[in-house]
Structure 1
Amino acid sequence: MQQILLVLRFCATGCMLQTVGDFTGIHKTTACRIVKRVIGIFAALAAEYIHMSNTQEEIDEVKRKFYTIAKFPRVIGAIDCTHVKIIFPGRANAEYFRKRKGHFSINVQVVADPNLLIRNIVARWPGSTHDQTILKNS
């Protein structure tokens, strides 16, 4: 549980491994190994937990819930993009990751259901990519 909480804190705050390690009382090298291992486990489990509704019954239930919330018919997901700040990537194409506000980021698209569960996530576009481009290619 402590390792999962360490990784969630690291991902949520964007702080350094040294800081996360100090917060939990472990060395930064150990924190690095924990983050790498747990993120790998999360990634391996993603397909099991992050997916669009599969059956017509599930889809109809999602539509009903969205209609109850906003009176908007036939909606099966709420979609939006957000920028996740990253450290300067330091490669030849690093400027692709610079968003118009000046810092480096990855533009992440997420689809959520009416229960606020993530149903789809795309986290591969550089920060300079417009949301519309990500939507067209998803």
Structure 2
Amino acid sequence: MTISAEKQLYIALYVLGTPDSYRSVVTKFDVGKATAWRAVKRVVKALCKHRNHFIRWPTQKEMDDCSQRLQMQYGFPKVIGALDGTHVYISAPAQDAI
């Protein structure tokens, strides 16, 4: 089954952003399990191919500015950034909830 690039992106974002199983994903997007799996694989591959456009090491000036800002705001010396992997529950809207 061929599906649009847009739908493939939606499927991949859903899979990457939720703890749902592929069984749940295929029901929500009305595609087969193999189609959903291939869509996720294609999108992740494309993101990895272009990762250097989105992820880069900061310049020395950016590191110095960020370090100074984080020390002033939070008291963390010599820190140039932080990552947060926390899942935050967001309740579905009353109307048009998927």
User: What TM-score bracket applies, with the shorter chain setting the length?
Assistant: 0.5 to 0.7
| Runs of 5+ consecutive residues of structure 2 not aligned to the other structure | 1-5, 85-98
Higher relative helix content: 2
Count of residue pairs brought into register by the alignment: 79
Higher relative strand content: 1
Residues of 2 paired with 1:69 and 1:26: CA distance? 48
Which of the pair has more CA radius of gyration?
A: 2
What's the offset of the Cα at 1:66? Answer: 1.0
1:32 is aligned to 2:37: yes
Residues of 1 paired with 2:41 and 2:22: CA distance? 11
Residues of 2 paired with 1:14 and 1:56: CA distance? 38
What's the offset of the Cα at 1:51? Answer: 2.6
Match of 1:21 in 2: 26
SS of aligned partner of 1:4: helix
| Runs of 5+ consecutive residues of structure 1 not aligned to the other structure | 79-111, 117-138
Match of 2:78 in 1: 74
Residues of 2 paired with 1:4 and 1:64: CA distance? 38
SS of aligned partner of 2:31: coil
TM-score of the superposition, structure 2-length normalised?
A: 0.64
SS of aligned partner of 1:8: helix
Give 4+ residue runs of structure 1 displaced > 4 Å after superposition.
none
What's the offset of the Cα at 1:10? Answer: 1.0
Identity %: 29
1:5 is aligned to 2:10: yes
Residues of 2 paired with 1:8 and 1:69: CA distance? 33
Residues of 1 paired with 2:19 and 2:44: CA distance? 14
Question: Within 5 Å, which residues of 2 pair with 1:57-136?
Answer: 57-78=61-82, 112=83
User: What amino acid maps onto 2:52 in structure 1?
Assistant: A
Residues of 2 paired with 1:58 and 1:74: CA distance? 13
